[in-house]
Amino acid sequence: AAAVLEREFGTNTAFVDNTHNDRGWGPRTFKNFKAAADEAAASRLYAGIHYRFAIEGGKPQGQCAAQAVLALKFKP
């Protein structure tokens, strides 16, 4: 998702994520989409969902998927 958002909004687009405000966590500020993606990947390790090797392998896999999506030609 980060690569697709970068293509649409630029690589240095800062943003605020308010997704979990209703849980009392407050807004999260990111300097760019890659920073958010890196944090999301690391959160899987801290939560015990994935091992580090899976996270490191998943990043290039995500880039590959993003490039395939970005190469699609959509009808206007």
- The strand pairing partners of 29, in sequence order, are 16
74 pLDDT band, cuts 50/70/90, is: confident
- Rounded to 10 degrees, the C-alpha dihedral 19/23/29/33 comes to -40
pLDDT given at position 36 = 96
CA pseudo-torsion sign 70, 10, 41, 17: negative
Distance between first and last Cα of the chain:
22
pLDDT single digits (tens) 8-63: 999 999 999 999 999 999 999 999 999 999 999 999 999 999 999 999 999 899 99
Domain range summary for the chain, segments of one domain joined by +? 1-71
> Among 73, 70, 51, which residue's Cα sits nearest to residue 62?
70
75 pLDDT band, cuts 50/70/90, is: confident
